[in-house]
Amino acid sequence: MNTVALFGAGLMGQRVAELLQRWPDVALAAVVSRNRPEWLRDVPWYPNVDELSETTGFLIDFSLPGGTGAAANWCRANMVPMISGTTGLEEADREALEHAAELVPVLWAPNLSRGLNLVLRSVVEAAASLPRDIPVRITDVHHVHKKDQPSGTALLLAHAIASARGVRPEDCLVLSMGSDAPRAGMVQCVSHREGEAVGAHRVTFYCRHEQIEFSHEAEERDIYAAGAIEAGFWLLKQPAGLYSAAEWLAPPNSEV
């Protein structure tokens, strides 16, 4: 029986915990969160990751910026693989993930949906094939409780487009709250926070006389929770290192 420690008990953490109850051959070992979640039953809870003592196969992090670094440090010290879907990371968080990856396998991805990462693959191919001066707009829609704008997924898409074009993100990325059309060479990110929307992303390439559009809309958070669990089992078979969702979902024998 495999076991999982969960760091963070918000909306995503709750979905992971509930999905683990139905997942074969795996159990939730413990939950770490600032406050004990009301939904938690018959599972140890700790307010601080340093108090976590349960043996666990891997740790799933859906916390907040600042918390990810603490989780990474614990995973390094205890030789536990780590999957993180936390967005809006601080520099200290990123450094802690890289430090942990020296000893254990670590996967960080702002979006753990298989579908979104397939869209990302197509977006990269389009960006590499089309002229670099074609303007691009990335639109992300999330619930009103989401703090980061643009979303981590929108930034992932933007950075992937810039990389495919061979340019630096800071030279092309523009954050916009309005609907002005992007200019030549621009990668524009526009964010909307509406109701309880789970998450939708749309990428539009404004070519001459035509538009090329890729989109993904999440209908429920279980797609991210399932992705985190599946990625965890994949990570158990990997050597130490810092991995991306593209590497997790790469076809066998392919190079990423």
Which residues are catalytically annotated?
142, 146
- Which residue shows structure tokens 């990110």? 189
Task: Kindly give, in sequence order, each residue whose CB lies less than 8 Å from that of residue 150, ignoring residues fewer than 6 positions away.
Answer: 138, 140, 158, 175, 189, 190, 191
Cβ–Cβ under 8 Å, residues 132 and 166: yes
| Residue 114 burial class via C-beta count within 10 angstroms: exposed 0-12, middle 13-18, buried 19 and up | middle
- Which residue shows structure tokens 């990997």? 238
Rounded to an integer, what distance in angstroms lies between the CA atom of residue 87 and that of residue 202?
18
Rounded to an integer, what distance in angstroms lies between the CA atom of residue 140 and that of residue 192?
6
Kindly report the backbone phi and psi dihedral angles of residue 243, in degrees, each rounded to the nearest multiple of 5, phi listed first.
-115, 160
- The SS3 of residue 149 is coil
Rounded to an integer, what distance in angstroms lies between the CA atom of residue 70 and that of residue 76?
10
Rounded to an integer, what distance in angstroms lies between the CA atom of residue 21 and that of residue 215?
31
